[in-house]
Amino acid sequence: MDFKELQQKVIETSFDYGEKYNVKIDEDFALLKLYEEVGELAQAVLIHRKKSRPEKHVPEIISKKELAKELADVVGMVMVYANLMDIDLEEAIDKKWISKEWINK
């Protein structure tokens, strides 16, 4: 599956969620949800590194799975937000990270 197809499936899933729970998936929702997901990622990292309360500690295989889930949530919400802002995320990643067209500009 290519990036645009993956992004489209993520966007469809997000809007299905919105319909199911009667939540308007707009720019505000997507950005605030992204903040929430980054916070959950930070919590997963703390647990994974055993820098949380001992009762939250879990085996590494479980904490790694939680990290993967939270990273997927962050990336997914970035995809949704980019779509809502009419930004071609694949192109932006290429220009910033691959071709470096946007470096120092």
Question: Does the pLDDT value for residue 52 go beyond 80?
Answer: yes
Arithmetic mean of pLDDT, 45-50:
97
d(CA 18, CA 31): 15
First and final C-alpha spacing in the chain:
32
d(CA 8, CA 64): 26
Domain map of the chain by residue range? 3-98
Percent of the chain whose predicted confidence (pLDDT) is above 70: 98
Question: Does the pLDDT value for residue 81 go beyond 70?
Answer: yes
Sign of torsion over alpha carbons 85, 90, 91, 94: positive
* pLDDT tens per residue, range 4-42: 999 999 999 999 999 999 999 999 999 999 999 999 999
* 69 contact partners, CB below 8 Å, separation of at least 6: 44
Question: Does the pLDDT value for residue 54 go beyond 70?
Answer: yes
Across the chain, what does the average pLDDT equal? Answer: 96
Question: Does the pLDDT value for residue 91 go beyond 80?
Answer: yes
What pLDDT band is residue 100 in, cutting at 50, 70 and 90?
Answer: confident
Run of H or E including 14: helix 3-21
Question: Does the pLDDT value for residue 105 go beyond 80?
Answer: no
Domain over 3-98 is classified CATH 3.30.450.20: no
